[in-house]
Amino acid sequence: MLKHFRESFIVTFLGLITAFVFGYYSQAHQISAGLNAAFLAFLLSILETAFSFDNAVVNASVLKTLSPKWQKYFLTWGMLIAVLGMRILFPLLIVSFSAWVNPWEATQIALFNHPLYEQVMIQAQASIAGFGSAFLMLVGLSFFVKGVHEPVWIRWIENPLMKLNHIPFISYWLTIAILGSFIVCFNWDDAYHFGIAALCGMGAYFLLERLEHAIGRPKSGAGLATFIYLEFLDASFSFDGVIGAFAVTNDIVLIAIGLGIGAMFVRSLTVALVQGGHLSQYAYLEAGAFYAIVTLAFITALNVKIEVPEVISGLSGIAFIGSALLYSIFCNHKHQKSPLEH
The pTM of this model reads 0.79
**What distances in angstroms separate CA 180 from CA 81, 125, 134, one per listed residue?**
31, 17, 11
Task: Please list the ranges in the chain whose pLDDT falls under 70.
Answer: 1-2, 99, 147-148, 212-223, 277-278, 337-342
pLDDT computed for residue 342 by the predictor: 44
CA-to-CA distance for 121 and 255, rounded, in angstroms?
13
pLDDT computed for residue 137 by the predictor: 92
